Structure 1
Amino acid sequence: MTVAVDLGVTHTGEPAELDLEELLSTRLLVQGNSGSGKSHLLRRLLERSAGHVQQAIIDPEGDFVTLAERYGHVVVDANRTPSELARIASRIRQHRASVVLTLEGLDAEVQMMCAAAFLNGLFDADRAFWFPMLIAVDEAHLFAPAMAGEHSEEARRASLGAMTNLMCRGRKRGLAGVIATQRLAKLAKNVAAEASNFLMGRTFLDIDMQRAADLLGIDRRGAERFRDLETGNFVALGPALFRRPLPIRIGPTETHSKAGRPTLTPLPDLPPEDLADLVFTVTDEEREADRRAAMRPHYTPPPRPEPQPNAGTGEIIARVSSNAASRERAEAQEDDGRSPDERAEVVDQIFAEMLADPDAAFRPVPVLYQEFLTHCRLKRLRGGETDMVAFRRRLSLARAGISAETDDPEWQMIVERSADLPEEMQGVFMMIARAARDEAECPSDEALAKAYGSHSPSRGRFLLNFMTERGVIHADQDFRGNRVVTITGTDWRTKLPEITLSSLDEARARRAARLSRDV
């Protein structure tokens, strides 16, 4: 079945149509400087073909998410782990859903890794799901750069490999690439060379004009016309378009980008004094943020105790005798008349007092147990609460900030499952489970190590690997190295951290440090 996609009109006023079935076999390359109308052209093509073929749009700026409401595209946020994106891509091919993969807000290097994982997932789908699919990639030079730049070699290789697979080997798998770029010189040649259809827009640099002219079979004098093209005008050539280069003008679209074209707006009509007040006056929101920051607890090291003179032998013997006498008097007390709830409350108070000391998290368990027994004697508490096994388990939970006392059947299942781990790891496991259930971020390596009683962050990574091998959790990472943990047998899953300017700055700083080391 031949489907003609109406792109607009030719310079003679005739309809400019694209053969969609031919496009699926021959692919399309769109080139034009910023502001030439490339994104408008892609939007027109996607709108007019939406009812005929499955579509996937790689959208680095979030411009095409507006297609979702009008044409039913599913918006996929790329802030996920590589395995998640690959599984989503496989289900997209299986269920033939049209999607927009939005990469907005991600660092450029992370965008490359996300696009690579998504495209590879589409490419590696089962043969039974190789249905025809249009893959539109805006700003394709970001994902298939002609040369190494500021990005890591790993990201460049992964992204370039995925784009090469799409353009070179995608046809047999039903994938038709439609790529748009600002400059042909910035796009990898082995990716651009696989396109048989071309739409060339306004171009100013000589090297890009010459490459565009070579692709269209135009002489050097004819290449000058690319400088004179207006916004939304392109020169079309290819088996799905026209057999000879023909100027066309792209028609209007039904949806629009969130940003749109920049337009001039009047400047504020305020005197300089008022503008200065607006710039330098602290707002209520900023005051509230400062107040919250000031209320955050800051660790203050405890004062160092004054050195005490060494006690003599007689004084030491007197102390030991006094302690022994006190112990004998405590053991001679009548049976404790407090209820189990009251005794449990006393134990909670003891643990709270012990762990209030920041160094308590890193003391050996036998030392803490002796300290615990001392507190119990002072509180006249004896019995099952002072058992070493009970103490170890309670300590691991307390270090992790967990209470196992709950009537929730799902949480009871987690508590029972923790019994498969060593006692000192059980509290760490439930700490992760609580974060996953609350959909909070996964605790850091330092937090996990501290809950285990160690100063070393590598201990936290060891704990995660150990629990993964035991099958009680599944740990994964996104492209920025942020950890995502899923509790096996449940739908509990920690969330990825929100993308903020500070996180992007940290990622850029890490990349700059890595580049400086390479130099």
Structure 2
Amino acid sequence: MNAEIVIGDEQGRPVLIDIEELLATRLLVQGNSGSGKSHLLRRLLEESAGMVQQIVIDPEGDFVGLADAFSHIVVDAASYSQGELEALALRVRAHRASVVLALEGLEVEQQIKACATFLNALFDAPREHWYPALVVVDEAQMFAPSAAGEMAEDVRRTTLSAMTNLMCRGRKRGLAGIVATQRLAKLAKNVAAEASNFLMGRTFLDIDMVRAADLLGMERRQAERIRDLERGRFVGLGPAISRRPVTVKIGPVRTGHKAAATGLMPLPEAPKADMAALLTDALAQEARPAPPPRAPAPPVEALGAAMAERAEAPVAASRREGPKVDVGGAVAAVMAEMAAHPDSAYQTASTLYQAFLTRCRARGVHIPPLDMAAFRREFAVALAGLDRLEDEDAARIRALGSGIADDVLGPFLVIARSALEGRDAPDEDELARAYGTSSPGRVRRLLDHFEREGLIVVREIFGGGRKISVPALETAS
């Protein structure tokens, strides 16, 4: 089998890459954004697709199009757990499948963790599965940074170890690393130094040009040659490419990639008023996330009946029967008293429950009318002031809160009551009291949590303040 592919041409003469030699000597690709770096990688992958297994780490979704023309399998890392990614990597090595690990759906730190997990599993595959494979890592400065930056130090150590293993020790396991970066200065030196082949594209920063010239064996004054390269042209050097620096124009590719239009395009012809309407009409509805499905609400109407049944249960023989007590009325009165006390919202749940039982006994209710869990939710209702609403409105808000956790039910009910009353947002002191805190930071984090869950929509007003709406209330109205 001919192991050479044509990567491009130099003044009409084809420039070849020896894939067998590349497997043994690895490759480093460098180029600023817009230099044609991704185009080069795609050309290399397309031309060698039938020769060798290919594993692509793709943080931007640039290479998923390979699956349309070749046998590559696209693996969406966002759909798998850490253990599943490790198991999948072992299967990739065992079955010699060409895959594109798509990281586009993850946050940056999650991309880094997923890449490290996958590479480590490839590296740790059993010896009988050490088949030759090209491992292409695009945007390698993310996964092998020269400095920690905003990344946690433990995450940096993990990903740097995975990339170092790929470039330093991967050859014995059949793994040939091809790393591509926009900035040589941001790529860890021990990763870049393991490559013996180089394709250097256009770069403008002096520190990157000097380092590229050092890797290519050029004198410092020759570094200007790299700055003057056109888009799609690279200076190549290495045992798999050429024994002397060669300037290559990368050839065409068959598969496309998702990219923004870079040329000029005619602007839309629309009247100014129509364009303003397109931008601003019904903006709040479009920005509002759909509320997540909630578990069906338990029947709140049964609460009074349940309390009455418990009150009418037989009392111990040693206890003298007293006059009939309105259990529901007594509980409501006790709840109102406790909610009105300025310090009650800041007590622990167990302390409040004991106080509740004591007050109930003082009113003649000797058998606990509510258990601890039911008390917490009813006390949240009392703190939210739902008794000041019409019965129908209070029932609607109760139903909305049925799926909310006990510890955050109170503030949610306060927000829902405020929205039902037509206010922009509840009073901050009232919201903090319902949450049992005096910390504005905790309240902000709670609002963020509610918004992520789709329970509320918070709109910060540039002039100051905020508007909080409850989508489920507006949907039902």
**TM tier, smaller:** 0.5 to 0.7
Residues 102-113 of structure 1 aligned to structure 2 (within 5 Å)? 102-113=102-113
Q: Deviations over 1:270-311 (max 9, x none)?
A: 232222222221069639x58969x999999x99x9xxxxxx
Shift of 1:81: 1.5
- Aligned residue pairs total 325
2:259 is the counterpart of 1:259: yes
Q: Does 1:62 align with 2:65?
A: no
Asked if 2 retains the 8 angstrom alpha-carbon contact of 1:61 and 1:104, the reply is: yes
Describe the superposition over 1:190-220 as per-residue Cα deviations: whole angstroms up to 9, x where unpaired: 0000000000000101111111111111112
Q: Structure 2 matches for 1:330-479, cutoff 5 A?
A: none
Name the SS for the 1:240 alignment partner: coil
- Residue in structure 2 matched with residue 430 of structure 1 by the alignment: none
* Alpha carbons 1:201, 1:235 under 8 Å: kept: yes
Call closer, same or farther: CA 1:321–1:292 in 2, change over 3 Å. Answer: closer
Query: How far apart are the structure 1 equivalents of 2:218 and 2:243?
Result: 13
1:57 aligned counterpart, secondary structure: strand
Q: 1:170 corresponds to which residue?
A: 170
The answer (yes or no) to whether the contact 1:2–1:20 under 8 Å persists in 2 is no
- C-alpha distance in 1, partners of 2:324/2:280? 70
Identity of aligned residues (%): 57
Name the CA distance, whole Å, in 1 between partners of 2:296 and 2:270. 42
Q: Residue 249 of structure 1 aligns to a residue in which SS?
A: strand
Cα 1:291–1:127 shift into 2, 3 Å: closer
Aligned to 2:229: 229
Distance 1:190 1:133 in 2: 21
**Cα RMSD (Å):** 3.7
The separation in 2 between residues aligned to 1:290 and 1:258, in whole angstroms, is 26
Partner deviation per Cα, 1:250-279 (whole Å, 9 max, x = no partner): 000000112255232222222322222222
The gaps in structure 1 that reach 5 residues or longer are 306-315, 323-358, 368-395, 397-443, 451-500, 504-519
Q: C-alpha displacement at 1:320, in angstroms?
A: 7.5
Q: Give the deviation of 1:58 after TM superposition.
A: 0.2
Residues 81, 249 of structure 1: alpha-carbon distance in 2 compared, 3 angstrom cutoff: same
State how far apart, in whole Å, the 2-side matches of 1:185 and 1:116 are: 21
TM score, norm. by length of structure 2: 0.62
TM-score normalised by structure 1 residue count = 0.57
Equivalent residue for 2:74?
Answer: 75
1:278-357 aligned at under 5 Å gives the runs 278-282=278-282, 286=286, 317-319=320-322
Which residue does the alignment assign to 2:36? 37
Q: SS of the residue aligned with 1:234?
A: strand
Partner of 1:466: none
- Determine if contact 1:66/1:255 at 8 Å carries over to the other structure: yes
Alignment of 1:160-199 (within 5 A): 160-199=160-199
Give yes or no for the alignment of 1:155 onto 2:158. no
Counterpart CA distance in 1 for 2:106 and 2:96 is 27
User: In the alignment, residue 27 of structure 1 is paired with which amino acid?
Assistant: R
Residue pair 1:2, 1:21 contacting (<8 A) in 2 also: no
Residues 460-490 of structure 1 deviation map (CA, whole Å, 9 limit, x = unaligned): xxxxxxxxxxxxxxxxxxxxxxxxxxxxxxx
User: 2 CA distance for matches of 1:281 and 1:296?
Assistant: 33
Distance 1:363 1:180, change over 3 A: same
In structure 2, do the counterparts of structure 1 residues 152 and 446 end up closer, same or farther at CA, with 3 Å as the change threshold? farther
Counterpart of 1:132?
132
CA contact (8 A) 1:22 1:239 kept: yes
* CA distance in 1: counterparts of 2:247 and 2:17, whole angstroms: 14
Q: Helix, strand or coil for the counterpart of 2:88?
A: helix
Q: Please tell me the residue identity of whatever aligns with 2:247.
A: P
Residue matched to 1:211 = 211
- Give the corresponding residue for 2:243: 243
Aligned-partner SS, 1:113: helix
Q: CA deviation at 1:157?
A: 1.1
C-alpha separation in 2, matches of 1:502 and 1:115: 26
Q: Which amino acid letter does the alignment assign opposite residue 319 of structure 1? A: G
Instruction: Quote the Cα distance in structure 2 between the aligned partners of 1:280 and 1:260.
Output: 24
Shift of 1:363: 9.1
In 2: Cα distance, 1:24 partner to 1:244 partner:
20
Tell me how far 1:64 sits from its aligned partner: 0.4
Match of 2:14 in 1: 15
Q: How many Å separate the matches in 1 of 2:274 and 2:66?
A: 42
Q: Give distance in 2, aligned partners of 1:128 and 1:61.
A: 33
After superposition, the C-alpha distances for 1:310-332 in whole angstroms (9 at most, x for unaligned) are xxxxxx8443799xxxxxxxxxx
Secondary structure of 1:262's counterpart equals coil
Asked if structure 2 preserves the Cα contact closer than 8 Å seen for 1:144 and 1:159, the reply is: yes
Q: Secondary structure at the match of 1:30?
A: strand
* Residue aligned with 1:100, SS: strand
Report deviation, 1:227.
1.1
